[in-house]
Structure 1
């Protein structure tokens, strides 16, 4: 059985958060990450995505990260991985 993706959003300051991701980031779990990042980008101008707990990331996972980065840039915000 595959371990589900664990996503934690922790506020560091009123305008800054860390999104910590653990588990495999692939076609099965990328939508969950995409949704979490959409919410975080809408709430926090500055965001760090911590992928230290991600042993595998396929192209759908990268696509979710790129989409969040694009949304952040459109709002004049910053996303760091």
Structure 2
């Protein structure tokens, strides 16, 4: 699996935008969206709305995925 970011387009606020994430982050983001019964665009919109202006969207997504996975680990112990 490549460590290089892969670009995918999503729709935010009615506009297409590209996000570059490494494949493992795309895989987990899609799994989280599926678990929440949300389209990927809706989940990305939630992450976008919650992020501060201090971070970019791709960074906010990575942190979100990390936090979800850490929460899953802590509840499974």
TM-score (normalizing by structure 1): 0.30
Q: Which has the higher contact order (CA 8 A, sep 6+)?
A: 1
TM-score (normalizing by structure 2): 0.31
Higher share of residues assigned helix: 2
Q: Which has the larger radius of gyration?
A: 2
